[in-house]
Structure 1
């Protein structure tokens, strides 16, 4: 079971990074955190993936006062997604064709949702940004929806101010990523006995 979980974890993180690169190349807009990562990358000599890694490490430090405990998945998330995103951006060239870019956007969002379900379903702990959200919700007594909205609006505004891409892709991501993860998470969730398909509820 451990090998199955590890393969699913790292395959999910790699797919997540690749999906991020696909959305960047579509140039239709990114999710709030990636708007921030892109904005910082545009203002520094750092690559997109390097910014993802550094931002994840800084967010992880914020776990300390929140008394959150990272797992293997948390550390792997910080490093793996950034490396995969840079690899994807190296592999996928800039695209001029509007239909191809639109297809890239839709495919990237779908792959992102599936990849999220895969690495969460492996059960090795949340990513640093998700842990920040749940930790703040627990400490403040606010709902996860309220805390997540506040965090994402903040990083979106900062990223946009730094030049990150906000557009129809940002809106489409916000509207569809939840349903995609909801539909695919039960397939990837691994039961204690080792089989997939466990039901996970929020």
Structure 2
């Protein structure tokens, strides 16, 4: 359990850092961060609420959608809501914003790869899915619809809503969309911790 908890929190910290890298690249965000940034730009920023807190609050809001889906959160689910946005805030404070295009492109690439590593680590710890992953699996379980269509519908919906609110859609959004699946596919088996008789 100690190993699983350490891996969980390491993965969540790296995930938060990857968000900061992608945001500072300013070349387009991953789908959920398009929504996070849109809410931040339209409502939270003017109210003095930080971007990281928006990430956490939207995670909590998504968690409420688990109730009608009868999903049960785990330790990893709660930690996901609390840690990722907090670490993203620290990263945004640490990484400068006035960077040239080559450096920003490097930040984008590093952020996307790190996001894949982080996803493999925290999911592989087996202590509960994040709010967004649980929303997807809950809808699939309740409806029987294919995972690929549910995931695509959710991602397109949050991109559209986030873009309408002022979130950043660009080449980074496309890069993330086409690479995150293969990256998680690569790293998840590396980090998956097995319990006796079952996958963790």
TM-score of the aligned structures, taking structure 1 as reference length: 0.93
Map 1:17-166 to 2 at 5 A: 17-43=16-42, 44=44, 45=47, 46-166=49-169
SS at match of 2:28: coil
SS at match of 1:86: helix
Matched positions, count: 195
SS at match of 2:195: coil
Give the structure 2 partner of residue 3 of structure 1.
2
Report deviation, 1:140: 1.4
Structure 1 consecutive aligned stretches of length 4 or more whose deviation exceeds 3 Å: none
Counterparts of 2:194 and 2:152 in 1: how far apart (Å)?
30
Contact 2:193 2:199 in 1 (8 A): no
Contact 1:95 1:101 in 2 (8 A): no
Give the structure 2 partner of residue 189 of structure 1.
192
Q: CA RMSD in A?
A: 1.4
Counterparts of 2:123 and 2:98 in 1: how far apart (Å)?
31
Deviations 1:106-125 (A, max 9, x none): 00000000000000000101
Counterparts of 2:99 and 2:92 in 1: how far apart (Å)?
15
TM-score of the aligned structures, taking structure 2 as reference length: 0.94
Counterparts of 2:98 and 2:174 in 1: how far apart (Å)?
21
Report deviation, 1:14: 0.4
Report deviation, 1:9: 0.3
Counterparts of 1:94 and 1:154 in 2: how far apart (Å)?
28
Counterparts of 1:54 and 1:108 in 2: how far apart (Å)?
22
Report deviation, 1:85: 0.6
Q: Does 2:197 correspond to 1:170?
A: no
Report deviation, 1:199: 8.2
Counterparts of 2:100 and 2:190 in 1: how far apart (Å)?
35
